[in-house]
Amino acid sequence: MVLPRDASILLSCHVNPDGDALGSMLGFGLGLRSLGFTGVRASFPEPYAVAEPFQFLPGLDLLLPPELVPHRPDLAVSFDAASPGRLGTLTDVSAAAPAWIVLDHHVSNTGFGTLRLVEPGAAATSVVAIRLLDELGVVLDEDMATCLYVALATDTGSFRFDATTGEVLALAARLVEAGAQPAQIARHVFDTRPFAAIKLLATVLDRAELDPAAAGGRGLVCSYATGGDLNRFGQPAHVLESFVDVLRTASEADIACLVKPIAEGEWAVSMRSKGATDVAAVAIALGGGGHRLAAGFTGYGTASQVLDAVRLELSRG
């Protein structure tokens, strides 16, 4: 389809966007703007707030709260959402567009939209986004490269995860050549947190449990945070996102699991594997999704009940 330069284009990404979702969306939006498209808007579902580590990103002026987006855009493009439900109210808005392009890299993608650019083998959705930008003839500048580098770095764990291939490193080098500054980005995204967040991390680690016999002897290390913890230390929920990667360093366990509060009796569960366990299969069985080495789901009940469900599912694998 051919769009006029003043076409209404809605970009969306999943709830509580991480670096890949937000960085891919904003980098792509800036790319469309560079082509002269003036009606580009971006959003994500409530709770509508950009996490502090990403508040330095270029392109934040593209963002609108979900209730203010165009109700029937000429084109919808979604990023890093494996199912329509991850887009909240933006699902119906995207479905109302004549065309809905889905950019994603989750193996658990349920198949939606009118054009699906889903590459489960890609290290991040940003890889898919860059390929499409190249097809559109976009020349990457410093702002686009910064957003897309954040996306690539966060989903590869600062290029430490198994998805870090030679192709990924070459792509990172290309983004640096276009103007992305790795040291500055790392300070914002990975290396800066309030002292209260460090105290919160200590609390979560103090209640961590290790079960070397779990998952047929592959081992599980797990912990949880509560809404009371967040209130006690005056921290927003997004500071918990990196805590699972600290748990993941336990040498006795292949699997790490962190249970995080959403609301009373509702929890966001993050799982990581060092390689011996397919945590996506566990997450899918429990109503979620993700990748073989990084996945999650929404759990209900108490934190202990949610962790028991994870242990039970691991025992079946």
Kindly list the structural domains of the chain, giving each domain's residue range(s) and its CATH number in brackets, ordered by start.
Answer: 9-189 (3.90.1640.10), 195-316 (3.10.310.30)
User: What average pLDDT score do residues 166-194 get?
Assistant: 97
Mean pLDDT of the chain: 96
pLDDT band for position 2 (50/70/90)? confident
User: What average pLDDT score do residues 145-157 get?
Assistant: 97
pLDDT given at position 134 = 98
pLDDT given at position 317 = 72
User: What average pLDDT score do residues 287-306 get?
Assistant: 93
User: What average pLDDT score do residues 259-279 get?
Assistant: 96
Q: What is the 3-class SS of 83-136, one letter each residue? A: CHHHHCCHHHHHHCCCCEEEEECCCCCCCCCCEEEECCCCCCHHHHHHHHHHHC
Distance set, CA 50 to CA 21, 40, 44, 92, 246 (Å): 11, 18, 10, 22, 23
pLDDT given at position 290 = 87
Per-residue pLDDT of 244-266, as tens digits, reads 999 999 999 999 999 999 999 99
CA 92, CA 301: separation in Å to the nearest integer?
29
| pTM assigned to the model | 0.92
Q: Report helix, strand or coil for 298.
A: strand
Percentage of residues in the chain with pLDDT exceeding 90? Answer: 96
User: What average pLDDT score do residues 295-299 get?
Assistant: 93
User: What average pLDDT score do residues 189-211 get?
Assistant: 97
